[in-house]
Structure 1
Amino acid sequence: MGHKCWHLHLSLIISILLWNSAGAQQIKSITPNSGGINGGTRLTINGEGFAEVSQFGVNVDDPINGNNVTLVSRTRSIPCDVENDSSHSKQIVCYTRALPEDHYDVSVNGTPVTCLPYQSTYKTIYSYLLKTWKLKYMLYTSLQSGYGSTPTIQSLSPHSGLPGTVVTIRGNIYTDVYGSNAESQKPRFVRAYMGGMSCELLKPNSEEKSLPDLELFNVSSLNKLAMFQTYAEVTGVSPSEGSVLGGTSLTIQGRYFDKTNLPAVVLVGGQECQIQNVSDEKIVCLTPGYERTNMTVFPGSRGLRMEMWNNSDPIDLEDVLDYNASMSGYSVQWVDSLSYVFPAEMNNFVARLSGFFVPMETDNYYFLIKGDYRCMLYFSLTGLSQDKVRIAYHDNSTYSFYDYTSQKSEIMRLKKGKPYYIEVLVQEYYDEASVDVGFFKEISTFTYNQTKEAINEKQQINASYDVLPEKQVREHTEAL
């Protein structure tokens, strides 16, 4: 709770009226008096004598344009970003930046809010002023930031999808309406963003800048931290055949094609197709000449191919490597991630997930696997599916990557941009089945304070020194 400041409106003309001299700046109230630690709190300062004429200017950093608001604690001072079009001579509106948990007083244009300390020795004076001098304001004029006032994001589902995907975000939500008895008011979200772009709210419900749990951040293929990933959709390719010498004009139909982060790249048979034109719904390119290789499976679009065989109970899980589409109980679909939970009603089945892993950087990597029930991970350093070998596995259900030493692969040196073939086998008997594959790389620009996926490196530095006595030779000569 903030300090109580007492602002006096006196009915007699005495020397105290110097406080209210013409043009003097006064702060009467500040709302709200609590806010989140991640910023975004809309702070309204009411008073008199604030800047009004110079609200706008060519140079927005010019100190004479508008008001400057600073939040000051005992150990730090942090600017509050003023919203000029909502501010005038009797009101300032500003948005807080990230505020470490603390108590902050407000300073406007270098003038701090002053208030008498509320101590027992002043009770008689306050009581007298209430009756005699018509105390007009008894308001809180400070801000307390804390985690308890910070909205959080604790889960997000799904983690990826096409633009326009409905995303459900759950967490602790705080509004300026909770705790109010005004039935006519309804809680609301002011706005929501994904990747810096506005997200349409289907169920508006809150206000304040949220603080997401670090467990929600993952490293994307662009080597950036992300909570949600979007991608393009391919709906058709024409023609379906062309010359082995290349030069065929290939048209790819789809949605959400762009070159926002990187130039568009199309691969045909593992070779680059020369881009001719890119629009939101179409890419035209010239096919490369055919090069004979030993590859039987080529890297394609996003995701993995998941094949399943119901009512299958092999003694050796490796037998699933030879399963095919002609066997009973077969089905196939595409999944977007190697972190997958199967429908709870599915029991007594085996699954095979296959695809390619493309490293974002050249580095040392190792892989981990966990799931319910039995799981195996295969990897090909050549990129050829026929060269895959088992690198990690577990024979019992586990929800940790570190229960068994066999869950972790050996360290491998992988090259940036090269597709490596991977294959995962899963066997389930009953209950809810799942599989999760992760990898670890040695070098990263991210820290544990940015994402729980990162591990901070600790180095021990030993220093030693030798102490040697200084020796000096002095020569003295006397003049004869």
Structure 2
Amino acid sequence: MVADAYYIRVSVDGDDVPLSGHCNGNANSGDCRFTATQSSTPTITQVEPVSQASLPGIIMKLYGKIYSGVYGSNVPSDEITNGVTERILRVYAHAQLCELRGENDTFYGLEMDNDGSSTNGFMKCLTKGTFVGNTNASFILEGKYGRSMPDANLLRVSSNDDIYMFQTYAKVTGVNPSTGSVKGGTLITISGQYFDETNSAVRVLVGGTECEVTQEITDSQIICRTADQLSAPRYAGNRGLNYEEFSSTYHSFSDLPNLADLLTNATDYSSSVIDEFYFTENDLDGYSTRTHGFFIPPHTGQYTLHVKCDDSAILYLSTDDDPVNKVLCE
């Protein structure tokens, strides 16, 4: 909601109540008006996790200008040092309640910065439900504060144009059998968690081609029949980028192209899958990384790619799906 003055108007079953029926006949009086101000609006600036391992039923951390560390009667009024006595009423994630307290009434985490004197702080809550997809989080404070809003830099846009704060996704734990004919016809059982069809039907791709779902999907199992496989040697596959790190190998800017020649059997080598191209490393110095994956444009158009790094970085983009044809972006 944009900071401004708003007048309340009421409708019943789709029919507008006449202005004469508002606020004793004075629809433009102060009784029918409220003002939203930025200075009194709680703001979420950071969510953890964003998506990696962000399965339903995890502990989520919300950080920002939350104003209050009071929930129920956890903080006596004489111990509040930032002057905000209003309580946190509810926290939401996946459009469901996100619980601040667990067993034995113990908080998952609720703390204000600067030993309680700041209006910035964080809360941790346990998410509910099994919803999979793009979603948001918010909380409500008593009094003039109301519902929180996300910082604009926190919002993301998905490939289907959803605006969201974080994602939840299904987890695949097994595929059986692990081999089959390239001519298709193999029945595959996919095991996992949170195979949710709330927003859309489950779609399975094997080797980049559609795998026909043959039985009713459960929360933990999908059975599908493979089709003839494409001859293409590469396909996008699952979410994420392959992140490789050489913890004690340093390359200067002029020597960065030689990173491609480093071997994965090096003693300082490690790898993982990351969900974002943006990442930080605060524990190492004098190291090198390389990241690769598929870029799938959600829309036809011109795209500008930017690189920001400390100390230095270079970016390659292939002309097709083969990394051999990569070209240095200059």
**Same fold flag (TM > 0.5):** yes
Matched, 1:369 2:307: yes
1:190 CA displacement:
2.0
Q: Distance in 1 between matches of 2:24 and 2:70?
A: 26
Aligned residue among 273, 286, 310 for 1:334: 273
Structure showing greater Rg: 1
Mapped partners of 2:91, 2:206: distance in 1: 39
Report 1:161-310 matches (<5 A): 161-174=54-67, 187-202=86-101, 203=107, 206-207=141-142, 208-277=146-215, 278-293=217-232, 295=233, 297-310=234-247
Aligned partner of 1:313 in structure 2 is 250
Give the TM-score, by structure 2 length. Answer: 0.70
List alignment gaps of at least 5 residues for structure 1.
1-35, 44-57, 78-103, 108-141, 392-405, 407-480
CA contact (8 A) 1:38 1:150 kept: no
1:284 CA drift (Å)? 1.3
Match of 1:387 in 2: 325
Deviation at 1:177, TM superposition (A): 7.8
Cα distance in 2 between the residues matched to 1:70 and 1:234? 60
* Deviation digits for residues 51-90 of structure 1 (CA, Å, limit 9, x no counterpart): xxxxxxx9585859xx8559989xxx5xxxxxxxxxxxxx
Q: CA deviation at 1:144?
A: 5.4
In structure 2, what residue type is equivalent to 1:193? Y
Name the CA shift for 1:350/1:291 in 2 (closer, same or farther; >3 Å). Answer: same
Secondary structure of the structure 1 residue equivalent to 2:30: strand
Alignment of structure 1 residues 122-141 onto 2, 5 Å: none
Alpha-carbon distance in 2 for matches of 1:159, 1:211: 17
The 1-side partners of 2:194 and 2:315 are apart by 33
In the alignment, structure 1 residue 152 sits paired with structure 2 residue 91 = no
Q: Following superposition of structure 1 onto structure 2, how do residues 80-95 of structure 1 map, counting pairs within 5 Å? A: none
Give SS of 2:307's match: strand
Cα 1:360–1:188, aligned 2, differ >3 Å: closer, same or farther? same
Matched residue pairs, number?
272
Is the Cα contact below 8 Å between 1:232 and 1:256 reproduced in 2? Answer: yes
Distance 1:59-1:365 versus aligned 2 partners, 3 A rule: closer
Query: For residues 210-246 of structure 1, what are the alpha-carbon distances to aligned partners after superposition, in whole Å with 9 as ceiling and x for unaligned?
Result: 1322111111222111111111111111111112211
One-letter amino acid of the structure 2 residue matched with residue 165 of structure 1: I
Alignment CA distance shift 1:365-1:163 (3 Å) = same
Cα distance 1:325–1:69, how it changes in 2: closer, same or farther (>3 A)? farther
* CA distance in structure 1 between the partners assigned to 2:251 and 2:168 by the alignment: 38
Residues 349 and 279 of structure 1: CA distance in aligned 2, closer, same or farther (over 3 Å): same
Unaligned runs of 5+ in 2: 102-106, 111-122, 124-140
Contact 1:38 1:209 in 2 (8 A): no
Query: How far, CA to CA, are the matches of 2:89 and 2:229 in structure 1?
Result: 55
For 1:322, the equivalent position in structure 2 comes to 261
Equivalent-residue separation in structure 1 for 2:267 and 2:210 (angstroms)? 38
Secondary structure of the corresponding residue to residue 386 of structure 1: helix
Amino acid at match of 1:166: I
> What does residue 54 of structure 1 align with?
none
Alpha-carbon separation, structure 1, partners of 2:198 and 2:68: 35
Q: Counterparts in 2 of 1:313-462, with a 5 A limit?
A: 313-314=250-251, 316-342=255-281, 344-391=282-329, 406=330
Cα deviation, 1:394-439, whole Å, max 9, x if unaligned, reads xxxxxxxxxxxx4xxxxxxxxxxxxxxxxxxxxxxxxxxxxxxxxx
Matched AA of 1:155 = Q
Preserved contact between residue 380 and residue 388 of structure 1 (Cα < 8 Å): yes
* Matched-pair identity in %: 35
Quickly say closer, same or farther: Cα 1:248–1:63, change in 2 above 3 A: same
Contact kept, 8 Å, 1:38 with 1:211, in 2: the verdict is: no
Cα separation, partners in 2 of 1:285 and 1:313, compared to 1, 3 Å: same
1:305 aligned counterpart, secondary structure: strand
1:177-235 deviation digits (Å, cap 9, x = unpaired): 89x99569975322222343333334578432113221111112221111111111111
The residue type equivalent to 2:172 in the other structure is V
Partner-residue secondary structure (3-state), 1:365: coil
Deviation string for 1:63-120 (max 9, x for gaps)?
59xx8559989xxx5xxxxxxxxxxxxxxxxxxxxxxxxxx6115xxxxxxxxxxxxx
Q: Supply the distance in 1 between the matched residues of 2:222 and 2:230 (Cα, whole angstroms).
A: 23
